[in-house]
């Protein structure tokens, strides 16, 4: 059992900088691996970050929810992300926002439309047209996954101007978002994770 899970109240009371350090420790310990890997883009990599090892932990979800809620602007109507990596992040932020009395719904974006019923790409509550939605991501490499979510949301009439990620691998994602006029923030870049993991 994680030390943090033994004292959940400490996570509820911790400030942003402390929460960020806790999350960095969790990512370095559980999500970061070195070896010979093939990424979803098809590129080879000497390391891999599987953030689901952290986002699906109780303490990881709580820390992530608190950190990302803190980064959302007051006019954010909802958070969203492309399945599967963003699913637990979106859920964590939505839950923590309710605990903080600022409830924000979450939307999950399918990679392919639902095969039956509504055949929708977007799952979650219906929002007013031009509602401001922030896209969340676990790890950004080329940036194409989160951009796919942005495009689906914009096609549905929502306003999307920002993407927030847990980790930026610094392999072109930020530049892609900038070229599309999107604001991008990451809690960590890869050098911070690698520095902590070494």
- pTM (predicted TM-score): 0.94
pLDDT value for 6: 63
pLDDT digit string (tens) for 148-183? Answer: 999 999 999 999 999 999 999 999 999 999 999 999
Tell me: the pLDDT tens digits for 41-52?
A: 788 999 999 999
Q: Which domains does the chain have, with CATH numbers?
A: 5-197 (3.40.50.2020)
pLDDT in tens, 31-86: 999 999 998 778 899 999 999 999 999 999 999 999 999 999 999 999 999 999 99
CA–CA gap between residue 135 and residue 145 (Å, rounded): 10
* Percent of residues, the chain, with pLDDT higher than 70: 95
């549905």: which residue's tokens?
A: 156
Residue 80 has what pLDDT? 98
Q: Confirm if 94 and 100 have CB atoms less than 8 A apart.
A: no
CB 167 within 8 A of CB 187: yes
| Bridge partner residues of 63 (DSSP) | none
């Amino acid at each position: 059992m994680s030390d943090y899970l033994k004292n959940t109240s400490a996570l509820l009371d911790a400030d942003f900088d402390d929460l960020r350090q806790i999350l960095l420790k969790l990512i370095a310990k559980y999500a970061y691996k070195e070896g010979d890997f093939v990424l979803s883009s098809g590129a080879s990599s000497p390391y891999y970050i599987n953030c689901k090892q952290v986002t699906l932990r109780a303490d990881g979800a709580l820390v992530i929810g608190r950190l990302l809620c803190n980064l959302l602007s007051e006019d954010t109507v909802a958070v969203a992300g492309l399945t599967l990596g963003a699913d637990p992040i979106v859920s964590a932020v939505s839950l923590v926002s309710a605990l903080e009395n600022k409830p924000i719904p979450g939307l999950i974006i399918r990679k392919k439309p639902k095969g039956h019923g509504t055949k929708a790409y977007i799952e979650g509550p219906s929002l007013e047209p031009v509602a401001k939605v922030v896209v969340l991501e676990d790890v950004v490499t080329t940036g194409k996954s989160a951009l796919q979510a942005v495009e689906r949301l914009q096609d549905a009439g929502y306003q999307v101007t920002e993407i927030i990620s847990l980790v930026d691998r610094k392999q072109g994602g930020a530049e892609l978002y900038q070229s599309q006029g999107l604001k991008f923030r990451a809690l960590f870049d890869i050098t911070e994770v690698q520095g902590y993991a070494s």
